[in-house]
Amino acid sequence: MEFYSTWVYRYIFNAEWAIWTFVVIIMILNLLAPVFIWMIMNGTPITKLIKKRMKNKEKGTSSKST
């Protein structure tokens, strides 16, 4: 049985929406790869960066309101 004549290939893998989904995912990964590599090289986990930004936002808003 040939894979190219199966229902899965014809209606899912070869569908226009599936091809564009793969293209967009690959493009996003290519754009974000330098950021991920930079974070790995610096040893900074992304959760630490997010927590730090959230703390800075909280401090900034609380000091302005008082």
> In this predicted model, what pLDDT tens digit does every residue of 2-44 receive, in sequence order?
888 898 888 888 889 989 999 999 999 999 999 888 888 887 6
Cα separation, 36 vs 44, in Å, equals: 10
Confidence of residue 1 (pLDDT cuts 50, 70, 90): low
The secondary structure of residue 12, as a DSSP letter, is I
pLDDT at site 37 = 87
DSSP 9-43: IIIIITSHHHHHHHHHHHHHHHHHHHHHHHHHHHT
pLDDT at site 62 = 54
Where along the chain do its domains lie? 3-65
pLDDT at site 25 = 97
- Residues in the chain, total: 66
pTM, 2 dp: 0.54
Amino acid at 53: R
